[in-house]
Amino acid sequence: MLRIVVCVSGGGTNLQAILDAVDSGKITNTEVIAVISNNPGAKALTRAENHGIPAVCMSPKEYGDREAYNQALTDKMKELQPDLIVLAGFLVKIPEAMVAAFSGRIINIHPSLIPSFCGVGYYGLKVHEKALERGVKVTGATVHFVNEGMDEGPIIAQKAVEVLDDDTPEILQRRVMEQAEWILLPGAIDDIANGRLELVGGKVRKIQR
């Protein structure tokens, strides 16, 4: 059984997609052992509680400085000992010590086709605002392993989504979630849980279903 911790900051629709996929059997061999948020107001925390999953809020504001927060977050993860950490809309830079302690065992979903519209300052709705400003005709989502960089880790899977003429950032965000994110992220978890996907020597090794 793959024991996962899901990290969230906001609405938690990706968390919900994971919980629904576990319930429906689209994800097998997997248990969500905890949800961690940096934001006390995150709706994702309520989604976890409604599902009977321990929900922990660790806000940087509760700590003296970033170093103290990073240490506390890393310590919490070490205490929970997950097999996999899933960043599902977690808008906090993962501390280097945590990346080192969970090497090859952290994945992230990003709402664009990396390397477009990613890195510092590109998160949530901002990604879609920038894509529309640039006038791209195709965007999408990427699930990738997390390394010390920002959205720079090895890519696991990507899915393209069409941009339509009258799109607003909100409409585009929803389409990217529905057509890409809520499919890619549960799919990657199921692949890892069932031994079809792993990181070997910094490279993604994937066996087709």
Given the complex with ligand GAR, which of 125 and 194 has the nearer CB atom?
Answer: 125
Does the protein bind ligand GAR through residue 145 (CB under 6 A)? no
Residue pair 43/52 in contact by the 8 Å Cβ criterion: no
Write down the least CB distance from residue 127 to ligand GAR, Å. 6
Residue pair 197/205 in contact by the 8 Å Cβ criterion: yes
Residues of span 70-109 touching ligand GAR by CB under 6 A: 88-89, 109
Name, in order, each residue with C-beta under 8 angstroms of 155's C-beta and a sequence gap of 6 or more: 114, 142, 143, 144, 204
DSSP 160: E
Residue pair 177/139 in contact by the 8 Å Cβ criterion: no
Closest-approach residue to ligand GAR (CB): 89
Does the protein bind ligand GAR through residue 14 (CB under 6 A)? yes
Write down the least CB distance from residue 155 to ligand GAR, Å. 14
**Tokens (6 digits) for 33:** 């052992």
Candidates 12-20, 25-33, 76-84, 129-137; binding stretch for ligand GAR (CB under 6 A):
12-20
Given the complex with ligand GAR, which of 81 and 168 has the nearer CB atom?
Answer: 168
Q: For residue 86, list its beta bridge partners.
A: 6, 107
Q: What does the alpha-carbon distance between residue 18 and residue 13 come to, in Å, rounded to a whole number?
A: 9
128 included as an active-site residue: no
Q: For residue 43, list its beta bridge partners.
A: none
Does the protein bind ligand GAR through residue 127 (CB under 6 A)? yes
Q: For residue 82, list its beta bridge partners.
A: none
Candidates 7-15, 32-40, 69-77, 161-169; binding stretch for ligand GAR (CB under 6 A):
7-15
Counting residues that bind ligand GAR (by CB under 6 A) gives: 17
Given the complex with ligand GAR, which of 65 and 152 has the nearer CB atom?
Answer: 152
Q: Which of 141, 138, 181 is nearest to 158 (CA)?
A: 141
Does the protein bind ligand GAR through residue 38 (CB under 6 A)? no
Does the protein bind ligand GAR through residue 111 (CB under 6 A)? yes
